[in-house]
């Protein structure tokens, strides 16, 4: 059986170099608030449903969501674009029951008996579709217990990345990756394992990331020597300095590149395109210079720009220029993302669908950017209550903790009342809005993807 492997600084398949060109599937197996249009973390969103409608109906809702979000029609469309790769974020909670003593056991045998089969059912379905349409897949651990970074997308409900403070959390994920690898060691269209999405070691934990990667690599290689292992750096997958060695020969590096997040002025429509591309490339070259030193293949796991409220032509200019930089540097890539609730996805539910009507009502009280601004403002207000000046790093870290408090109020005062107003008869129909047949496509986005995917 053939598998993707690492050879020097290239990915290879069936003896030939291969460049991966594709998309991150989106907020499918890990709910991200801005991508689904509902406030809170994955766990808090799910809790809002179960507290409103009961556990059984809530489980049915999210199973329907998974079934609707990506199915045969989606994979047919993905295949038509010419892509050869998708990145699939997942939440550990799909596999591990936090309230199960066995799932939290340090003993591997007991841990396995406490695992939930829900996540494996989802993975079985995913890999069956990948095999049928011959699209490689890379699952990434997007949310680890305690949160590997302080933000909402790691399902962090405290704003502190406690994953790095409790070894039991790390041991759980070592055991989980070992179990995943043991079940899918012979999966042909599994490209590899993205061990941890966007780590952020706050406060500083020297050696913690390297130690975790070494432990997981050892555990995976006990059961699977076929598939590639992919490592992300610190500071939301942009700083490789926390990794000082890569011993496993079948390991590559993956990173994220969001220039307009760190330099918002670059998103302006009047930013000269030639200057934009030079600045984007300079930032890119600086970021990957240390990664190149490892002599391993590079894959950009996430890159993309907000479409909501912007001109699609402007956004696609930035997207096309970014992909050209990747191609010029022989870097594989997946853009973020394939599908969401009209924020930055290529595919999205039409405005008249139930989901988007629900989201429009939510947006009267909440949206992602408003939340971020409010968090920063509240931290600034608190900082002025004490003598002296709080430094910018402290304020940056505190705004995550402030927003975690806001998540609780958003759930109780926005999301749950909205669910109650709509009632179960209307809410249970929401997931169908993500069916491909009920979605629209940013054709300009599809054209950019196809241009590069078919060009190889």
Task: Tell me whether the omega of the peptide bond preceding residue 294 falls within 30 degrees of 0, making it cis.
Answer: no
Give whole-number Cα distances, 378 to 58, 156, 278, 383, 399, in Å: 33, 19, 36, 9, 8
Query: What are the backbone angles phi and psi of residue 151, rounded to the nearest 5°?
Result: -100, 170
324 catalytic per annotation: no
Dihedral sign from CA coordinates of 44, 45, 51, 55: negative
- Would residue 198 show up in a list of annotated catalytic residues for this protein? yes
Which among 171, 179, 187, 198 is annotated as catalytic?
198
Q: How many CA atoms lie within 13 Å of 12's alpha carbon, on the beta-carbon side?
A: 13
Inter-residue contact 243 to 233 (CB < 8 Å):
yes
Residues 32, 171, 187, 302: which is the catalytic one? 302
Up-side HSE of residue 113: CA atoms within 13 Å toward CB?
Answer: 7
User: Are 446 and 82 a contacting pair, CB within 8 Å?
Assistant: no
Other beta carbons within 10 angstroms of residue 236's beta carbon come to 20
18 DSSP assignment = E
Q: What does the alpha-carbon distance between residue 374 and residue 378 come to, in Å, rounded to a whole number?
A: 6
Q: Which helix (H) or strand (E) holds 58?
A: helix 55-69
The token pair that represents 391 in the structure block: 């430094």
In DSSP terms, which residues pair with 192 in a beta bridge?
228
Asked whether the beta carbons of 188 and 1 are under 8 A apart, the reply is yes
Which of the residues are catalytic?
A: 198, 302
């Amino acid at each position: 059986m053939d598998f993707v492997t690492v050879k020097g600084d290239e990915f290879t398949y069936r003896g030939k170099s291969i460049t991966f060109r594709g998309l991150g599937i989106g907020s499918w197996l890990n709910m991200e608030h801005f991508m689904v249009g509902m406030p809170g973390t994955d766990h808090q969103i799910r809790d809002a449903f179960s507290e409103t409608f009961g556990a059984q109906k809530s489980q049915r809702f999210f199973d329907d969501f998974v079934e609707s979000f990506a199915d045969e029609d989606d994979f047919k469309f993905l295949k038509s674009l010419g892509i050869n790769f998708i990145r699939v974020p997942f939440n550990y909670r799909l596999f591990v029951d936090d309230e199960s003593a066995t799932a939290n056991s340090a003993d591997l045998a007991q841990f396995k008996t406490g695992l939930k089969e829900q996540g494996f059912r989802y993975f079985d379905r995913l890999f069956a579709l990948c095999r049928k349409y011959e699209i490689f897949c890379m699952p990434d651990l997007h949310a680890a217990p305690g949160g590997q970074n302080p933000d909402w997308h790691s399902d962090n409900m405290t704003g502190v990345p406690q994953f790095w403070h409790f070894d039991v959390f790390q041991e759980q994920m070592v055991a989980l990756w070992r179990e995943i690898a043991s079940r899918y060691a012979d999966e042909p269209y599994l490209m590899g394992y993205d061990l941890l999405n966007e780590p952020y070691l706050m406060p500083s934990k020297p050696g913690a990331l390297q130690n975790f990667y070494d432990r997981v690599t050892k555990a995976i290689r006990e059961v699977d020597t076929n598939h590639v292992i992919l490592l992300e750096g610190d500071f939301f997958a942009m700083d490789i300095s926390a990794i000082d060695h890569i011993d496993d020969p079948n390991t590559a590096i993956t990173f994220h590149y969001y220039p307009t997040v760190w330099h918002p002025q670059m998103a302006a429509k009047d930013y000269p395109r030639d200057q934009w591309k030079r600045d984007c490339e300079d930032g890119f070259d600086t970021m990957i210079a240390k990664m190149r030193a490892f002599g391993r293949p590079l894959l950009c796991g996430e890159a993309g720009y907000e479409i909501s409220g912007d001109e699609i032509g402007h956004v696609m200019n930035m997207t096309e220029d970014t992909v050209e930089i990747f191609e010029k540097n022989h870097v594989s890539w997946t853009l973020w993302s394939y599908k969401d609730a009209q924020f930055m996805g290529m595919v999205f539910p039409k405005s008249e669908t139930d989901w988007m009507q629900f989201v429009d009502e939510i947006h009267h009280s909440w949206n992602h950017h408003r939340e971020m601004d409010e968090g920063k403002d509240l931290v600034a207000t608190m900082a002025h209550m004490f003598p002296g000046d709080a430094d910018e790093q402290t304020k940056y870290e505190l705004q995550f903790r402030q927003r975690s408090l806001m998540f609780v109020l958003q759930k109780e005062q926005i999301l749950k009342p909205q669910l109650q107003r709509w009632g179960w008869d209307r809410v249970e129909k929401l997931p169908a809005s993500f069916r491909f047949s009920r979605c629209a496509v940013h054709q300009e986005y599809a054209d950019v993807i196809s241009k590069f995917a078919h060009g190889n």
